[in-house]
Structure 1
Amino acid sequence: MLKKVLLLLSGTLILVASSLYYINFSPQHTSTSKTYQYKKKPSTYQFQKLSDDTNTTTLPAAGSWQSDFPDVNNSNVLGIAGQFNFFAKNIDSTSGHPLVGNFATQNLATDAWRVNGISSKISYIQQGISVGDGISLLLRGTKMVLGQSLTFNASNSTLNNHTLESPRPSTFTQDTNGLKYIDIDSEFLRLTENSKTVAMNTKDNQPVISGNQWSKVFDAGNITAQNNVKYLTVKASDLPGEWGDMNIKGVSDQQQVVLTIDTSEVSNVSIAHDIDNNNNTYNKQILFNFYNVQDNSSYTGNVDWNRGTNVPDAILAPNASVKLSSTKFKGNIIAQSFTKMQDTIDSGYFSDVPVSVQSPTTSTPKLISVPDVDFGSHKLNSETSLIGSWKGNCQVSGKKGSEIKINVQLADDSSNSKFVNAVTWKLIKSDYSSGSLVMDSEEFNTNTPATITYWPWKDDGTGDLVTDWDYNKANKKNAFYDIQISNLGAVTEVGDYNATLKWTLVDSP
C-alpha cells in the first residue's frame, strides 16, 4: 500500500515539475514576461493569460467625418478640407508660436510645450507625431481623432510615449479596422483636381488690371459670375509688390471671389501685400488657387504668405509648400506641407464655393456691315415728317441670345450742316413682343445717340438687323426700328441732302 502511495505522489511531482519547466523555459514565452493561472476543467489543465503587459488603450472608433460634419458638400472646391484651418499632409509647428485653430494632417511635427489645436474644434492626426527632444505634448480640441498606428494610453495620459499635458482634448477616438476618419490621400487627389478644373475653366477670366507695384486694382466688371462667384485669373507677376495693397472691383457685396494665381515659370510666390482698409476688398473673402496654367500642371513650388484681412481667406495649394509668416491670417490653408512661422488665430473658415464650370467662349460683338436710310425724293413743302426705309444689310456678330446695344447718331458732316441741324431726327421703336403694338422714340443728333437693342439668334452668333426687322414688321412680331425726320419746314433751300449715320457698339454680351 505504501508503495502505491509513493508511486502516485512521485507521478504528481513529475507532472508539476514538467509544468513548471514548460512555464519557465518554453521558447514561445521567452520574449515577454507573462503571468498565467491554472484553470481546471474536468480531466484537463489549461493555462490562461491574466494580463497583457502593454501600454495601449482601446479608444472609441472614430468612424467617418460625415458623422461630425453632416452638412459639408464634398463636391464643392474645399469640401471637408474646408472644415479645418490647416489641412496638409505634413505640418511643421516647431516654431516658437502656438498653432491655434484646428488641423488635419498625416504627420505633425511640434516642440514640447507648444500648443496645437483649439479647444472648441476637432483635429485629426493620421500617421505620426514628433515632439523634438521634448516629452510634454500640448494638444487642444473638443475631440482629437487618432490614426490607427498611433499609441494612446489613458492610464498615464501619453500619446506615442509623449505626456499629454492639461488641458487635453475632452474626447479621443481612433481609426479601426483599416478605416480612416478622413482618407487624406484621396482628399488631396480631389483637391488637386478641383484646383486644376477651376484654373483651366476660368483661365480666360482676366480682370482689367491697373495701378503699380504699390497699389493694384483688379476690375472684374467684365467677368460673368457663376453661382454668385466671380472666378478670376491673374499672373503671379500681376500681384502688388511687398506691402502694396490690392483692390478687387466689379464684385457685388453678395458675390464671392476665387482668384487663380497663374504660377507659370515661377517656383516661389511671395504674398506680402496687405489690404487697404478703405477699399471693398478688405471685407471680401477670397479663395487663392495656385496653378501652373501654361503647363496645365499643379503648382509644386513655395508660397510665402504674409497677408492679412478682416475676413477668412483660403489658400488652395495642394501640391505646394506654404509658409505662414503673417500674424493676421484668417481662414484655411490647404497645402502638401505647411509651416507655421507666426501665431495663428481661431478665425473661422472660408465659405466654400462650387467648382467652376467651363466659361463659355466669349465673342466680342462686331458690326460687319451697316445700312443706309433712303427717304426718297420729296417736295419740302408737301411733307412735314418722313419715315425712311433701310437700304442694305446690317450684319452683327456676337454671342447667341445675348443683348447687344448699338448707338446710332449723326456724324459731324459740315457740308450738310444746315439740313442736319435744321430738322429733327428720331429713332422709332415699334414692339409687338407684348402681343400689341408699343411705340416709343429717341431723339438723336451729332452729340446725342439713340440706342438700338438687338439679340443675335443664329447658332453661329450672327444676325442681320434689317432682315429681322423686315420680318417683324411684316408679321407683327417682336421689335423693329425706323428713322424719322421731322420739322422739314425749317429747310428753305431746295437741293439733294445727305446725312451720315454713325453706328457704335456700346455694350457687350
Structure 2
Amino acid sequence: MLKKVLLLLSGTLILVASSLCYINFSPQHTSTSKTYQYKKKPSTYQFQKLSDDTNTTTLPAAGSWKDDFPGVDNSKILGIAGQFNIFTRNLNSMSDLNGNFASENLNIQGWLNVGTTGISYIKNALTSNHDGLSFKSNTLILGEYLKYTKNILWGRPGIGNFSLSTAPSNFKQDVDGKKYIDFDSEFERLSNNSKRIANASTAVPISYSYDAGTIDVSNAKSQNNVKYVTVNFSDIHENAKLDVVGNTDNAKIVITIDTTGINSFSTGWISLQNDTTKTNILFNFFNVKSQTDFSGDIQWNVTNGATNAILAPRASVTVNSSAFNGNIVAQTVNNNNKSFQQSDSHYPDATVPSDSSTSTPKLISAPNVNFGSHKLNSATSLIGSWDGDFKVSGEKGQEIKINVSLAQNFKYANGKDTGVTWQLVKSDYSSGTLETSSQDISTTPASITYNDDGTGNLIASWNHNRENKQYIFYDIQISKLNSVTEAGDYTATLKWELADSP
C-alpha cells in the first residue's frame, strides 16, 4: 500500500547552492585568506501529491528571460533589469504605471493601468484594494504559486481573488520550481555593480551660481565611452537646476550619489537643464565611506530630463514626478504619479567599470543546479545542469581552481541520512572525443578547473562548450535516489572553496 501511495507523489528538486567560500591567493605563495559568504535559501527536494483539480487552468511555461531577451548583455550594469521600467522586489503603485515591470510583489489600487507595453512579471504576490485591475502589457508572467483563473467574474480572467478589467494578450507562468528571473542572484549582481561603479568614480564638486548647479565631468576619465563620477549628497540642492558640462566626447554619464551618513535623500523639485536633458544619466546610490549599499529612502521629484536610470538595489525609491523616463532598480518602488510618460523608454545600458583588483581571483556568485522534476522512485540517478549565475573575477588566461563539497546531505525529519550520494561529473572534449570522469563529493571536496576567458562567467563558458562539443564543462549527479522512502521536504547544502592556482 505504501508503494502505491508513493507512486502517486511527484517531486520538485530545486538545488540552490547555499555556500561559504574561502578565498586564498598569493603570488609569492604567502598564505593569506579571505572569507566570502553567499547567502541563498537552502536547496529543497520536495515531494508533493499530484493535483486532481481538473478545473485549474494551465498556462504556457514561462521559461527563462533569456528566451525572450536573447540579445541582452547581462554583464552590463543593468542587464536584464534594464529591460523593465521598474525592477524591484516590492512595487506599490498608487497611480497608472506606463511601461513594464518585474517585481516579486505587486500592491496596486484598483481600476488602475499597470504595465502598458512589452513583458511584465509578478513572482510572488498580488494585492489590491479593489477588483478591476488593468494589465495592458503584451505578456504577463506569473510566479509558480499565483493562481490564474480563466473566468473569475463576468467573463473576466482573474489572478488570485482579483478580476481583471483588461488582460494582456498572453499569459505565461513559472513551473516546476523554475523562475523566469532569479531576483536573489540579480540583486546580488546589481549590488556588486553599484559598488564597482562607486569605487571607479572620480569625485567632482557641484558649483552653484544662484539656483543653478553645474557638474563638470571634463576631468573624469572615460572607460569604454562611459564617465563615472561621484558627487556628495549635500551638494545637490533641493529645487535647484542641475546641469552636466564638459562631456566633450559625448560619453555616457554615470553619477554616484554618495549617501554616507544619511538615511533619506530627496532631490526636491529639481530641474535637469541644458546638456543634462540631452544626456542619458544613470544615478547610482552608494555609501562610499562604509562601502555599503544605501538602504534608506529616496524621494525622486525631478521635473524634466532625458531617459535616465536609478540604481539603488537596497533602497526604497518614491517617484512623485510625472516627468521621469527610463528605469528604476530598487528594493522597493512607490509610484505616486504617472512616472513613465514614454512607455517604451529604456535607459541605454552602460558597461561596468573594470575592477582594479581582478589580479586576485574572487568568487562573485555561486550557482544553482537544476535537476528538474520527477516522480518518487521513478529514477535512481539524476544529472543536474548548472543555471543562474556562477562567476569569478581574475586575470584573463589565469587558471582558477574551485573546490566543491557536500556540506549537508538530504536527511529525514529524524535527522537520519537518506543515503543519497553526490558526484561532480566532468565532460571533456579537449581530445576531440568525449571523455567523462566523476569525483565523489559526498565526503571529500572535488576540484573544478576554470581558465578565465576574461568574462569570469563559468556557466556561459560551459554552455558554449556543451553546445559546440569542445573543451570542458561540469554537471552534478545525485544517485541512490531509491534510498529515499519517505515523502517530505529535503534540504542539502553545497560548499564552494576558491583555491590558489598552482
Please state which band the TM-score falls in when normalised by the shorter chain. Answer: 0.5 to 0.7
The runs of 5 or more residues in structure 1 that have no matched partner are: 1-50, 361-509
Of residues 227, 246, 249 in structure 1, which corresponds to 2:242? 246
Q: Are residues 243 and 253 of structure 1, via their aligned partners in 2, closer, same or farther at CA, if it must alter by over 3 Å?
A: farther
Equivalent pair of 2:205/2:231 in contact (CA under 8 Å): no
Matched with 1:209 is 206
> 1 CA distance for matches of 2:209 and 2:234?
11
**Identity level (%):** 41
Q: 1:55 to 1:131 in 2, by over 3 A?
A: farther
In the TM superposition, residue 83 of structure 1 has moved relative to its aligned partner by: 0.4
1:114 paired residue number: 112
Distance 1:53 1:353, change over 3 A: closer
Tell me by how many angstroms 1:137 deviates.
2.0
Q: Please name the residue that 2:30 is paired with.
A: none
Query: Is 1:259 paired with 2:258?
Result: no
2:121 matched to which residue of 1?
124
2:312 maps to 317
Deviations, residues 167-186 of structure 1 (Å, cap 9, x unaligned) = x1000000001000001121
**1:229 to 2:206 alignment:** no
Return the offset for 1:318: 0.4
CA offset at residue 155 of structure 1? 3.6
Letter in 2 for 1:341: N
Residue identity matched to 1:109: N
Is 2:297 aligned against 1:299?
A: no
Letter in 2 for 1:235: N
Displacement of 1:55: 4.8
Corresponding residue of 1:349:
346
- Separation in structure 1 between the aligned mates of residue 66 and residue 330 of structure 2, nearest angstrom: 22
Aligned residue in 1 for 2:79:
79
Give 1:176's aligned residue. 175
Shift of residue 211 of structure 1? 1.4
Given that 2:272 and 2:304 are in contact with CA atoms closer than 8 Å, whether structure 1 keeps it comes out as no
**1:144 maps to 2:143:** no
Distance 1:175 1:290, change over 3 A: same
Question: Any idea what the Cα deviations from partners look like across 1:304-341, whole Å, max 9, x if unmatched?
Answer: 00014342100000000000011100000111000011
Which one-letter code corresponds to 2:164 in the other structure?
Answer: L
Shift of the alpha carbon at 1:86? 0.5
How many angstroms apart in 2 are the aligned matches of 1:253 and 1:307?
26
Shift, 1:275, TM fit = 3.5
Structure number with greater Rg is: 1
Q: What code does the residue aligned with 1:236 have? A: F
Change (3 A) 1:273 1:226: farther
Number of the residue aligned with 1:162:
162
Q: Which of these residues, 330, 333, 351, is aligned with residue 328 of structure 2? A: 333
TM-score by length of 1: 0.57
**Helix, strand or coil: the match of 1:154?**
strand
Taking the aligned partners of 1:291 and 1:149, their CA distance within structure 2 comes to 34
Residue 142 (structure 1) shift: 0.6
CA separation in 2, counterparts of 1:198 and 1:273? 26
Q: Distance in 2 between matches of 1:257 and 1:333?
A: 16
Q: Which has the higher helix share?
A: 1
Tell me the distance in 1 between the aligned counterparts of 2:63 and 2:303.
Answer: 36
Give, in whole Å, the separation in 2 of the partners of 1:73 and 1:236: 31
SS of equivalent to 2:198 = helix
The 3-state SS of whatever aligns with 2:90 is strand
Query: What displacement does 1:100 show?
Result: 1.1
State the distance in 2 between where 1:212 and 1:237 align. Answer: 16
Q: Is residue 2:107 matched to residue 1:105?
A: no
Partner letter of residue 125 of structure 1? I
Secondary structure of 1:300's partner?
coil
Partner SS state of residue 282, structure 1? helix
Rate the CA distance shift 1:122–1:253 in 2: closer, same or farther, 3 A.
Answer: farther
Consecutive unaligned residues in structure 2, runs of 5 or more = 1-50, 358-502
Secondary structure of residue in 2 paired with 1:280:
helix
Q: Give the Cα–Cα distance (whole angstroms) in 1 for the partners of residues 224 and 104 of structure 2.
A: 34
Give secondary structure in 2 for the equivalent of 1:116: coil
Matched, 1:191 2:190: yes
Q: In the alignment, is the contact (CA less than 8 A) between 1:245 and 1:273 conserved in 2? A: no
Superposed CA offset, 1:384-428 (max 9, x none): xxxxxxxxxxxxxxxxxxxxxxxxxxxxxxxxxxxxxxxxxxxxx
CA–CA distance in structure 1, aligned partners of residues 249 and 221 of structure 2: 15
| Alignment partner, residue 217 of structure 2 | 220
Quick check: 1:208–1:220 contact (8 Å CA) kept in 2?
no
- Could you say what the CA RMSD is over the residues aligned between the two structures, in angstroms? 1.8
**Which residue of structure 2 aligns with residue 31 of structure 1?**
none
Alignment partner, residue 89 of structure 2 = 89
**Could you say which residue in structure 2 is the equivalent of 1:504?**
none
**Superimposed CA distance per residue, residues 78-121 of structure 1 (whole angstroms, 9 cap, x where no aligned partner):** 0000000001100001x2x2011100000000121111101x31
Q: Give the direction of change, closer, same or farther, for the CA distance of 1:144–1:152 in structure 2 (3 Å limit).
A: same
Aligned residue among 264, 267, 271 for 1:268: 264
Q: CA deviation at 1:274?
A: 3.4
Q: TM-score, normalised by structure 2?
A: 0.58
Compared with structure 1, are the counterparts of its residues 235 and 352 closer, same or farther at alpha carbon in structure 2 (3 Å cutoff)? same
**What letter matches 2:215 in structure 1?**
F
Letter of the 1:59 counterpart: L
- Once the two structures are TM-superposed, the CA of residue 272 in structure 1 deviates from its matched residue by 2.5
CA offset at residue 154 of structure 1?
1.5
Question: Partners in 1 of 2:101 and 2:143 — Cα distance?
Answer: 14
Q: Is the 8 A contact 1:275 1:281 kept in 2?
A: no
Partner deviation per Cα, 1:251-290 (whole Å, 9 max, x = no partner)? 136311000000001111101253454x211111110000
Decide whether the 8 Å contact of 1:221 with 1:251 is kept in 2: yes
CA distance in 2, matches of 1:160, 1:82: 28
1:290 matched to 2:288: no
Amino acid at match of 1:302: D
Matched to 1:318, the amino acid is: P
Which residue identity does 2:352 align to in structure 1? V
1:312·1:347 contact (CA, 8 Å) conserved in 2? Answer: no
Q: Which amino acid aligns with 1:182?
A: I
Deviation at 1:148, TM superposition (A): 0.1
The list of structure 1 runs, each at least 4 consecutive aligned residues, that deviate by more than 6 angstroms after superposition, is: none
Count of residue correspondences? 301
- 1:208–1:221 distance in 2 versus 1, CA, 3 Å: farther
Aligned partners of 2:317 and 2:333 also within 8 Å: yes
Partners in 2 of 1:163 and 1:273 — Cα distance? 37
